[in-house]
Amino acid sequence: MSDSTHHSQFAENSQSCAPAVSVSNLHMSYGSFEVLKGIDAEAAEGSVTSIIGASGSGKSTFLRCMNLLEQPKEGRLEIAGETVEFAYSDKGRPVPVCKQVTRNLRTRVSMVFQQFNLWPHFTVLGNVTEVPIHIQGVSRKEAIERAEYYLEKVGMSDKRDQYPAYLSGGQQQRVAIARALATEPDVMLFDEPTSALDPELVGEVLNVIRSLAEDGRTMLLVTHEMRFAREVSNQILFLHQGQIEESGTPEDVFENPSSERCQQFLSSIIH
Amino acid sequence: MDFSWIHDPFYQSYFWQGFVNTLMLVAISGFFGFILAVLNALAQVKGPRPLAWLAKGYTTVIRGTPLLVQLFFFYDGIGRLLPMIDGIRQSIIWPLLTNAFFFGCLTFTVSVGAYAGEVIRGAMASVPKRELETAKAFGMSSWKILWRIWLPRAIQICLPTLTGEIILLLKSVPLVSTIAVVDLLRAANIVRSETFLVYEPLLLVAGIYVALTVVLTWVMHTIEKNFPGAKPQKSALFSRL
């Protein structure tokens, strides 16, 4: 009884507040250096948001705030059903977010890293089943089924018993994507997923990400692949010096950028 | 060269006893020393400050004093002080406390705990931070990160160095001949004192040690090769003798 009530409430909620991610007035500093100076953004359920900008503009930091790898000192984050309000102490240090909230949030927001970061002492299958078995409490059998499903999806089934050291960068990144998928997250974060790859390996990873976009997964993507961002995204955020300088649909941002900095950035990258 | 004594069952039994004691000393103090080393490294890397200092101090003292001095300290020092405790002679552990072999194991365990502890601590520091951060990003608790990722990776990184440590341990064993444990050197000394042959029994001891080292190196190398996630490598069987 209570279960069904809860469920209907949840359904109502997800209809009334459509954004899967909502960020307001996010501030983040490294010591006295302010990296993010008040970010407001939203991402709808099932949408792809690409975050672009020059290096040092704060885009990776912004993404890392989404699963609290960096702790903002001010602002509000709503993601995967969790709401976190950030505050800072008298000494100017961020007040740590409650451990339970952090853990809940992190098990539902999964991340793909620039350097893949597979655990070298686990096989491909071990990497993909690690989080479901040891953090989410899924049975080994179900975790392996899940892993097989997602490894198939990224085209890495035949390497399930290999160790990461034996795989190419592109293959490692595809396994890392399967690992992120196997946690069945509400939101996926990609932190420059192709920047560490040799040019000929970029395509295979982008193809996998593209197929996820077509599946309607909520994704936030920091990338330098402008053509790809334009093609798969529903929304583009252009960051400059810790602020969102330009945002909108890919057409708006890439064809009619209103900000001068965004125009400069795009022309420097594309031409 | 006169090896005729080798056929004497009396000397054979001494050498056999010395051989068994040597293996037992290495196995026992290698095992418990490794556990102590892991605890030592954990205390230094993750422990509360007083515990970290204690572990650091222990490591510094043990690494800063000769093993032979430690052996005498435990056997002649502590071993002689203990009987002053009331009632200890009647306790169950008394036979252990009068046993030189026990003090040999104790000293070597403490020594391995310090040396290998420092090796493991260094290896923990060299595990790439991003592997641990990834575990954190997926919601792993810090203890789970330690047991599932950090420690296994550290052991993987320092296994070749630990091989060196265990071979050094093997070759420290003759020190116990000074505290009345029958090891291989002790057996050789008995032969020498009764037959006045100096080199022949020592040659046998040297031969046995070389053989043991080769075997131990091969065992450790096999473990290294089969450790989960080990990179393919060339044969290094004789590279660490």
Domains in chain A, please, with CATH? Answer: 20-268 (3.40.50.300)
Percent of chain A with pLDDT over 90: 80
- Quickly state the pLDDT bin for B87 (edges 50, 70, 90): confident
Chain A nearest CA to B108, separation (Å): 30
pLDDT by residue (tens digit) across B128-185? Answer: 999 999 999 999 999 999 999 999 999 999 999 999 999 999 999 999 999 989 999 9
Average pLDDT over residues A109-118: 96
Predicted pLDDT of residue A46? 93
B17-24 long-range Cβ contacts below 8 angstroms, 24+ apart: B17/B182, B17/B187, B18/B182, B18/B183, B18/B184, B18/B185, B18/B186, B18/B187, B19/B184, B19/B208, B21/B101, B21/B176, B21/B181, B21/B182, B21/B183, B22/B170, B22/B173, B22/B183, B22/B184, B22/B212, B23/B212, B24/B101
Predicted pLDDT of residue A136? 94
Quote the radius of gyration of chain A (alpha carbons, Å). 19
Write out the two tokens for A133. Answer: 């078995």
Percent of chain B with pLDDT over 90: 80
Judging contacts by C-beta atoms under 8 Å, the chain A residues touching residue B137 are: 67, 69, 106, 110-111
- CATH level 2 (architecture), domain B4-239: Orthogonal Bundle (1.10)
pLDDT by residue (tens digit) across A142-159? Answer: 999 999 999 999 999 999
CB contact under 8 Å between A119 and B131, yes or no, is yes
CB contact under 8 Å between A120 and B152, yes or no, is no
With an 8 Å Cβ cutoff, is A61 touching chain B? no
Predicted pLDDT of residue B77? 87
Q: How many CB atoms lie within 10 A of CB A215?
A: 11
Closest Cα partner for A39 from A69, A16, A61, A17? A61
CB contact under 8 Å between B138 and A164, yes or no, is no
Tell which of A99, A100, A101, A117 to mutate to test the B interface (max B CBs under 10 Å): A117
ipTM above 0.85, yes or no: yes
pTM over 0.90: no
CB contact under 8 Å between B149 and A119, yes or no, is yes
pLDDT by residue (tens digit) across A195-223? Answer: 999 999 999 999 999 999 999 899 999 99
β-pairing, A74-79 vs A82-86, is: antiparallel
CB contact under 8 Å between B133 and A163, yes or no, is no
SS3 B182: coil
- Quickly state the pLDDT bin for A27 (edges 50, 70, 90): very high
Instruction: For A189, name the nearest residue in chain B, comparing CA atoms only.
Output: B137
Instruction: For B150, name the nearest residue in chain A, comparing CA atoms only.
Output: A119
CB contact under 8 Å between B156 and A121, yes or no, is yes
CB contact under 8 Å between B153 and A120, yes or no, is yes
